[in-house]
Amino acid sequence: AQSVTQPDIHITVSEGASLELRCNYSYGATPYLFWYVQSPGQGLQLLLKYFSGDTLVQGIKGFEAEFKRSQSSFNLRKPSVHWSDAAEYFCAVGANNNDMRFGAGTRLTVKP
Amino acid sequence: NAGVTQTPKFQVLKTGQSMTLQCAQDMNHEYMSWYRQDPGMGLRLIHYSVGAGITDQGEVPNGYNVSRSTTEDFPLRLLSAAPSQTSVYFCASSFGGPGELFFGEGSRLTVL
Neighbouring residues of A53: CB distance < 8 A, sequence distance ≥ 6 = none
- Stretch B40-61: mean pLDDT: 92
Share of chain A above pLDDT 70, in %: 99
Q: Does A1 touch chain B (CB under 8 A)?
A: no
The pLDDT value recorded for residue B98 is 67
Which residues of B lie closer than 8 Å to A, measured between beta carbons?
4, 31, 33, 35, 40-45, 48, 50, 56, 58, 90, 92, 94, 96-101, 103-106
- Stretch B70-90: mean pLDDT: 96
Find out whether B76 and B66 touch, Cβ atoms under 8 Å.
Answer: yes
- Comparing A53 with A19, the larger pLDDT belongs to A19
pLDDT band at A97 (very low <50, low <70, confident <90, very high): low
CA distance A85 to A104: 18
Does the pLDDT value for residue B35 go beyond 70?
yes
Q: Nearest CA to CA, how far is B15 from chain A (Å)?
A: 25
Q: Residue B102: beta bridge partners?
A: B93
pLDDT band at B97 (very low <50, low <70, confident <90, very high): low
Nearest to B48 by CA among B60, B40, B39, B57: B57
